[in-house]
Amino acid sequence: MADANDPDVTDPLFRPVATMTTEAGPTADDRADGPERTILLPRISTDPVDDLVERVRPQLTRAVDALQVAAALEADGHTDRAAQVEYGYRDVFVLALEVFRRLGPTPEAVDRPRTAATPHPDRWADLRIISHGLLYVLPSAAFPAVLSVVGRPGLVVGLILAGTVGWIWSGMVAYAAFRLLGLGRARSASRVLRIAALAAPLLGLAAGAVMLPYGGLPLAAMMLGQLTYQLASTLLIFYRREGWLAGAMVPAVLGSAVFLTTGGATARRWAVGAAALGVLAAFAAGLWATRAAARAGEPTPRDPLWPPASTLLGVAGYGLCSAALLFHAQAPYLLGQWDVAASAVPLILSMGFVEWRTSRFWAGGVALSRRARLPRSFVVGIWQAIGREVAACLAVPAVLGVLLLAALAGLGVLSTAGVVMTAAHVALAGAYYLAFLLAGQGRYGWLCLSMTVVIVLHVGLGALLGVAPLLGQGGSPVTDTSLYLGSVLLLQALFALGLFPVIGQVRHYR
């Protein structure tokens, strides 16, 4: 009878092997002297997947599906290439299916009911985000009165310079502040926002000084107000005080309405004064909003408070390229062809909707990761969700664009170039949705490269055809705007290509 301490020879993990001696195998006489002795050794697996299973088993004892395994593998650095080369599987998801199968079921996985995330949307919070588009458009109400004071010389360059500097500065500040807030450092975030806001007038003065030879003091004052408003709006949106921002701009909108209705020097002075008052009120409200957080306590930091310099550089580059993408096509038409200049309004108005849908995407991805049973179904579901959201982000500015075109046609100022440029800005809303997803994945390099490519193509092809107004070529506005529409469609494809390697990784949603 076998000893109770000996391993069971029927156990598939063990196999009999010959006695390890320096002599040849046992002869018949040897066997006659006594029973043959057998040494049992554990069977050593040559399948690398078995090694992987044992390596990840401690952290996946409660894994309930292959998606959770895929998330752990991706977080551990396993890529599709590694799955193919090291384990012989098509991608990480197929490898995760096999790992999950070999892990075997757990009592927790069998007994635990699968419940999908049930969202509890805050309708007021949704409306607050959607309203951002209107807040972005409000300052343009003061444009007619400001134009009458500043005059045309240097106005377009001043607007673009101040807008670009403000876009970059506010983007970097918001990124740093949200990072600090995520680390529980609300007081540090408020300090960063306050210092950045106080620096905004200095940046405006510096930018205005550069433009003094071209537009004088009125242009410099306009640039100062533009930069101050951009940082004030950053603070108020960060602290969810959009109502304060809208209230601060009411005098500017009313003053501009009076000026457009009555005209005259007195109405112009009142309109410009109301705009300046609105900017000051918004700036003061933004600084006031930082006071409560400035008194909050903070935990001891466990992570670096500041993002890497390369990340901040990527955020700044993204802001610069975004401004260049929008402004380089609009600049030649701002003072000459009003329907083309106004074509960006549907895009700006719908940007709040695009931001809202982006914020909902991540929550939807988490819910999908809990519902999906197979990795492939998760990937398909993610791309279907992106397709639906892009369609929605195109539909909203399209409706607004139709209303704008109808109004311009009623005024008798609509041209074919205006229609094409409006279509380009509608397409740009879908591109910005994809851009927000890429930014959420930290792919700033791909964002900047893609936008640079389409800008160069638009201007370069226009120069070859003799229709690049940015380079001083007259040409046909219809051809130029059609090239811009094509470049925006190409940008959508490039952004989708940049999302392809990362957006389907389930670890981002667990």
The confidence score (pLDDT) of residue 451 equals 97
- Return the amino acid letter for 100: F
The confidence score (pLDDT) of residue 147 equals 78
Are residues 507 and 372 part of one domain? yes
Range of the domain at 160: 133-307
- Residue 391 scores a pLDDT above 70: yes
Task: Please indicate, yes or no, if residue 55 is contained in any of the structural domains.
Answer: yes
* Cα separation, 352 vs 132, whole angstroms: 5
Task: Please indicate, yes or no, if residue 2 is contained in any of the structural domains.
Answer: no
* Cα separation, 369 vs 68, whole angstroms: 8
Estimate to the nearest angstrom the gap between the alpha carbon of 49 and the chain centroid: 36
Burial class (CB in 10 A: 0-12, 13-18, 19+), 163: middle
* Strongest mean pLDDT among 48-52, 225-229, 370-374: 225-229
Domain count, the chain: 3
* Cα separation, 475 vs 46, whole angstroms: 70
Are residues 336 and 288 part of one domain? no
- Residue 385 scores a pLDDT above 60: yes
Burial 277-286 (b: 16+ CB within 10 A, else e): ebbebbbebb
- Residue 33 scores a pLDDT above 70: no
Task: Please indicate, yes or no, if residue 404 is contained in any of the structural domains.
Answer: yes
Task: Please indicate, yes or no, if residue 444 is contained in any of the structural domains.
Answer: yes
Are residues 192 and 77 part of one domain? no
Q: What radius of gyration do the chain's Cα atoms show?
A: 31
* Cα separation, 272 vs 142, whole angstroms: 7
Task: Please indicate, yes or no, if residue 42 is contained in any of the structural domains.
Answer: no
Determine which of 150-154, 165-169, 345-349, 384-388 has the lowest per-residue pLDDT on average: 150-154
Are residues 176 and 103 part of one domain? no
Determine which of 91-100, 113-122, 176-185, 358-367 has the lowest per-residue pLDDT on average: 113-122
* Cα separation, 265 vs 272, whole angstroms: 11
Model confidence over 108-145: pLDDT tens digits?
Answer: 444 444 444 444 456 788 888 899 999 988 888 888 88
3-state secondary structure of 459: helix
State mean pLDDT over 78-85: 70
Determine which of 206-220, 382-396, 407-421 has the lowest per-residue pLDDT on average: 206-220
Please identify, among 272, 307, 342, the residue that sits at the C-terminal boundary of a domain.
307
Are residues 206 and 66 part of one domain? no
Q: Which residue has the higher pLDDT, 421 or 109?
A: 421
Residue-wise DSSP of 466-492: T--GGGT----HHHHHHHHHHHHHHHH
Are residues 147 and 93 part of one domain? no
CA torsion sign for 66, 67, 72, 78 is positive
Are residues 64 and 168 part of one domain? no
The beta strands (E) that lie in 181-331 are given as: none
Are residues 339 and 292 part of one domain? no
Backbone angles phi, psi at 39, to 5 degrees: -100, 130
The confidence score (pLDDT) of residue 305 equals 65
Please, what is the average pLDDT of the chain? 81
The confidence score (pLDDT) of residue 46 equals 57
State mean pLDDT over 366-377: 78
Are residues 455 and 355 part of one domain? yes
Task: Please indicate, yes or no, if residue 40 is contained in any of the structural domains.
Answer: no
- Residue 437 scores a pLDDT above 70: yes
The confidence score (pLDDT) of residue 41 equals 45
Task: Please indicate, yes or no, if residue 191 is contained in any of the structural domains.
Answer: yes
State mean pLDDT over 386-399: 96
Please identify, among 111, 142, 166, the residue that sits at the C-terminal boundary of a domain.
111
Question: Which uninterrupted H or E stretch holds 444?
Answer: helix 444-465
- Residue 199 scores a pLDDT above 90: yes
Model confidence over 250-307: pLDDT tens digits?
Answer: 888 888 888 888 878 888 888 889 989 999 999 999 999 988 766 666 655 555 567 7
Q: Which residue has the higher pLDDT, 1 or 102?
A: 102
Please identify, among 273, 307, 341, the residue that sits at the C-terminal boundary of a domain.
307
424's tokens? 């380009």
CB 168 within 8 A of CB 231: no
Are residues 251 and 156 part of one domain? yes
The confidence score (pLDDT) of residue 420 equals 97
* Cα separation, 482 vs 416, whole angstroms: 10
Are residues 501 and 430 part of one domain? yes
Number of H helices, E strands in the chain: 21, 2
Task: Please indicate, yes or no, if residue 323 is contained in any of the structural domains.
Answer: no
State what percent of residues in the chain have pLDDT above 90.
Answer: 40
Are residues 360 and 228 part of one domain? no
State mean pLDDT over 315-336: 91
- Residue 195 scores a pLDDT above 60: yes
